Amino acid sequence: MVSWEFLVQRKLEAIEKALTCLSSFEANCALCPRKCQVNRFSSQLGVCQTGNLARVSTALLHYGEEPVLSGHGGWSQARGSGTVFFAGCNLKCLFCQNYQLSWLNEGELVTDEQLAGMMLELQNQGALNINLVSPTHVILPILRALKIAYQQGLNIPLVYNSNGYDSLEVIEQLRGIIDIYLPDLKYFSSEFSRKYSAAPDYFEHARLAIQEMYIQQPDLILDENEVARKGLIIRHLVLPGGQDDSIKVLEWIAENLSTSVGLSLMSQYHPCFRAPAELRREITAEEYRKVMEKAIELGFENLFLQPEPFSKDEHLLPDFHRKNPFRWK
């Protein structure tokens, strides 16, 4: 059996290699498909509104993730996912429920040492993993912090929780570092991604990034408590009127990856922030059920479902102005 010390050494080597390969991406920023080309060491800011340090809104035990990430038995029994919510975003969907972070960039700048300390504190609190929410635009400070954290005893799985609009070159450099990939695959249609996220090339880049994630972590591996240790879980949020596009997303996953990957099919859409007129409603049970039935028909083996759909009272809509942004029952 491979010792944890050996695994840490391998991770540290992979981190050092990734930092070396990606360091030039920040001075002329090409860390995501936007390729804003700004110098993040100066006062220049690209779409993500981020310099060379990470900005963190909150770091907490999160009980509302998929059960294999947060733990089983409901929030009162689950240990929770050690979730770090980063401010800023490279995609900026008009309907984002985390708009306080993605659009308004609310949070505190943290040093690499402080970020490492947050990870270690979450581990001390019993977190099942370290869950990095919106890591794409802050991957370099994350890597620098991980280098510190692993040297100080971090020893739980690392989750890369992204919007899917990732650079293939960056994901390739994360081989041997990330244990669990948790990307969104938001759209198949370039018209949807242009209209709602100003990214007509979303699917083109997301599919390449997710294919690489699948190469690195193809199998969803659970421990004796049914908690994920490794693997790929693809999230897809069903949008109002978007069920046909959702089905195309599912068909692509089944045909190009595998029906054994984790698939989290979300009904929790709620109109937020700048949602356009056609998205200013909840999805219907019929819309969600149509997509769910297609996932079952395609034979997805590791399928995570939500209620059909969430009622208003059940939404886990966060308010990052509160100490605990989520409403737990």
Three-class secondary structure of residue 137 per DSSP: helix
Task: Identify whether the C-beta of residue 229 lies closer than 8 Å to the C-beta of residue 257.
Answer: no
Dihedrals phi, psi of 97, to nearest 5 degrees:
-75, -15
Asked if the model's pLDDT at residue 111 lies above 70, the reply is: yes
Q: What is the average pLDDT score of the chain?
A: 94
Question: Tens of pLDDT along 231-262?
Answer: 999 999 999 999 999 999 999 999 999 999 99
Second-level CATH architecture of 4-314: Alpha-Beta Barrel (3.20)
Asked if the model's pLDDT at residue 315 lies above 70, the reply is: no
Going by pLDDT thresholds of 50, 70 and 90, the confidence category of residue 316 is low
Q: What is the pLDDT of residue 326?
A: 84
Q: List own/partner pairs for 295-302 with CB under 8 A and 24 or more apart.
A: 295/250, 295/263, 295/265, 298/250, 298/251, 298/254, 298/259, 299/254, 299/259, 300/250, 300/254, 300/259, 300/261, 300/263, 301/259, 301/260, 302/220, 302/233, 302/260, 302/261, 302/262, 302/263
Q: What is the pLDDT of residue 215?
A: 98
Q: What is the pLDDT of residue 134?
A: 98
Task: Identify whether the C-beta of residue 69 lies closer than 8 Å to the C-beta of residue 222.
Answer: no
Residue 119, CA distances (Å) to 48, 102, 145 in order: 23, 21, 9
Distance, in Å, from the CA atom of 219 to the CA atom of 174, rounded to the nearest integer, reads 17
Give burial (CB, 10 Å; 0-12/13-18/19+) of 23: exposed
Q: Tell me what percent of the chain is helix, strand and coil, each rounded to the nearest 5.
A: 40, 15, 45
Asked if the model's pLDDT at residue 72 lies above 90, the reply is: no
Q: What is the mean pLDDT of residues 53-72?
A: 94
User: Angle at Cα 232 formed by Cα 231 and Cα 233, nearest 5°?
Assistant: 125
pTM of the predicted protein model: 0.96
List, in sequence order, the alpha helices (H) in the chain. 4-27, 67-70, 99-102, 112-124, 139-151, 168-173, 190-197, 202-216, 243-256, 285-298
Question: Tens of pLDDT along 142-195?
Answer: 999 999 999 999 999 999 999 999 999 999 999 999 999 999 999 999 999 999
Q: What is the pLDDT of residue 308?
A: 76
Largest CA distance in the chain: 56
Asked if the model's pLDDT at residue 328 lies above 60, the reply is: no
Asked if the model's pLDDT at residue 313 lies above 80, the reply is: no
Question: Tens of pLDDT along 116-125?
Answer: 999 999 999 9
Give burial (CB, 10 Å; 0-12/13-18/19+) of 106: middle
Give burial (CB, 10 Å; 0-12/13-18/19+) of 65: buried
